[in-house]
A = this chain, B = another copy of it.
Amino acid sequence: MIAGAFVDDLVLLTRGEILAVASRTLERAQEFGAQHGIERCHGSYEELAADPEIDIVYVASPHSRHARDTIMFLEAGKHVLCEKPFALNAHEAAAMVSTAELHDRFLMEAMWSRFLPANTRLRELLDGNELGEPLALEASFGFRAPFDPHHRLFDPALGGGALLDLGIYPLQLDRLVFGAPDEIIATAHLGETAVDEQVAVLLRHPGGGIATVSASLRANLPCDARVSFSDGSVTIPSMMHWPQSISITRGNSTEHVDASFEGIGLRFQAEEVHRCLDAGLRDSSTMPLADTCALAQTMDAVRAQIGVTYDADLHGHSRSQEDSVE
């Protein structure tokens, strides 16, 4: 779904070309290609990796394949933009990053929300210290999904659960606003497939700023984000992963900033990839790999507390790499 949306949004870019699509079967690749106007269709990711005309691969396989697929493409000399969540755990994320370094390739987590105009304005506010010290963040992302034990959202084999799929959006916002936490505590409701159908996390930061973050697959949460600063506040309205505006309050005065955009907003991250490659960079300063790895560590810490374990946590990295060679 997100791959189709991304490809459709790329028509708004004036550069880059979608040369090929790959899927686990030729039929699925051809179906996607027909829907989105892509002629070259590969029936396996290995074929795509071997395609000499490809510079950058966008990885949108299930979470549970991100590490093996990304590593294979990097080893084949491709730059990679990998869907969020980047990996199932911090071990996988570290392996992906070190593979990119070894092969001198660009690598970024496709944290598209961070590149939207509302979040660009938020980053300016933070960088310019315009509202003083951030003190509190309240952010949630959750919707009532029909329960289906075989859907990836509920399947632990595919990295299911609210945390990795939805919680990552408010968690990356916490990282953007506060940086590293010095305490992470969490609670959750696990469903019958043993993934977190609802999760809440408190992150305390040096200086005392506290974030309350919630995600759910069973409740329609407010899905907004409110940041309290010492000298004002910021509201990112629902849906917080896809805001069309941002409200900035200083004293009694609130400024409502239009932050709408053409398309659905997935192209901004592709512009960042082009910008980085033009400049010879291998890491984005807006969504740095250090943040990606830190987010994976935070989610590992949360999962350890709430008792959600994936097979990849047990195998460690070496097994993932073996798998990827197939």
Contact = CB atoms under 8 A, between A and B. Distances in A.
Interface string A200-232: 101010011110101010111110001010100
A183 interface: yes
A216 B135 contact: yes
Interface string A160-172: 0000000000000
Interface in A222-247: 222, 226, 228, 230, 233
Question: In the assembly, how many copies of this chain are there?
Answer: 2
A29 to B, nearest CB: 38
A240 to B, nearest CB: 13
A164 B135 CA distance: 20
A221 B228 CA distance: 6
A198 B138 contact: no
A202 B204 contact: no
A69 interface: no
Contacts of A200: 202, 204, 210, 212
A117 B134 CA distance: 35
Contact of A138 (B202, B222, B233): B222
Contacts of A219: 135-136, 228, 230
A136 B187 CA distance: 12
Interface residues of A, number: 34
Given A136-B198, A210-B198, A221-B228, A187 B216 contact: no
Interface in A117-175: 135-136, 138, 140, 142, 144
Interface of A is mostly: strand
Nearest to A143: B228
Contacts of A189: 204, 207-210
Contacts of A221: 136, 138, 228
B138 A214 contact: yes
B135 A198 contact: yes
Minimum-distance CB pairs A-B, first 8: A189-B208, A135-B219, A219-B228, A212-B212, A187-B204, A136-B219, A200-B210, A200-B202
23 contacts: A135-B216, A135-B219, A136-B142, A136-B214, A136-B216, A138-B140, A138-B212, A138-B214, A183-B187, A185-B186, A187-B204, A189-B204, A189-B209, A200-B202, A200-B210, A202-B202, A208-B218, A212-B212, A212-B214, A216-B228, A219-B228, A222-B228, A222-B233
